[in-house]
Amino acid sequence: MKKILVVTVFLALAACSPKPAAEKAPPPAAAKPAPVNVPAGAYTLDKSHSTVVFKVSHLGFSNYTASFAAFDARLTFDPAKPELTTLEATIDPRSLTLPAPPAGFKDELVGPQWLDAAQYPAITFKSTKVEVIGANTARVTGDFSLHGVTKPVVLDVTFNGGYAGHPMDPQARAGFSATGTFKRSDFGIAYGVPAPGTTMGVGDEVAVAIETEFSGPPLAQKPA
């Protein structure tokens, strides 16, 4: 009987004794740019290693793919402070490049019903905000001007790396991939958009994919 009483008291005291505070998991560290040997400064587009491609649904059967051949961009970039990045880009809509276009098809697309390149000879993007979302990723918001209309468009950008220079390439280099979408009807190009509930026509949503490299400041010590 005494043993039972002692065990009961012991268990009661153990139940009432204060529990050690549970260890809290450390808060997740904020995403930081990966360390790279890329200097801060002004960068110019390397047109030989850059592409601007877009896709639109065709009747819902395929994603018609085309590109632009003439474009330029200016970048200010500091890998230690990517949120301060600025970008300005310009595309010549008359440089539209199509896969095996039928006779007159390109003229139609750069004409009044579509891009109307004669009246609006430039497509432009100017960044207004850069939000870092990962070690090498960011969301870049900018003023996008198309067909005489300017609206905000967001690009999801990945920094692919770079270097401060190389004996065969004695300037800094940085590479990026970017994707984004917008509705062409928002920019006054609604011709051929399918009726609601159908895919009979050319899709309203335009998906953009950009691959690009930029050349930056020269090597501090150029090779002999």
**What is residue 37's predicted lDDT score, i.e. its pLDDT?**
83
**What is residue 220's predicted lDDT score, i.e. its pLDDT?**
79
**Measuring CA to CA, which residue among 202, 175, 181 is closest to residue 38?**
175
**What is residue 8's predicted lDDT score, i.e. its pLDDT?**
36
- Three-state DSSP class for residue 221: coil
**Measuring CA to CA, which residue among 97, 54, 72, 98 is closest to residue 189?**
54
Q: For the chain, which ranges sit under pLDDT 50?
A: 1-22, 30
**What is residue 12's predicted lDDT score, i.e. its pLDDT?**
38
Per the CB < 8 A criterion, the answer to whether 146 and 136 are in contact is: no
Per the CB < 8 A criterion, the answer to whether 162 and 174 are in contact is: yes
The DSSP letter of residue 15 is H
**What is residue 39's predicted lDDT score, i.e. its pLDDT?**
96
**What is residue 11's predicted lDDT score, i.e. its pLDDT?**
34
**What is residue 45's predicted lDDT score, i.e. its pLDDT?**
98
173-196: pLDDT as tens digits: 999 999 999 999 999 999 999 999
**What is residue 24's predicted lDDT score, i.e. its pLDDT?**
56
Residue-range domains of the chain with CATH: 41-218 (2.40.128.110)
Cα first-last separation, the chain: 96
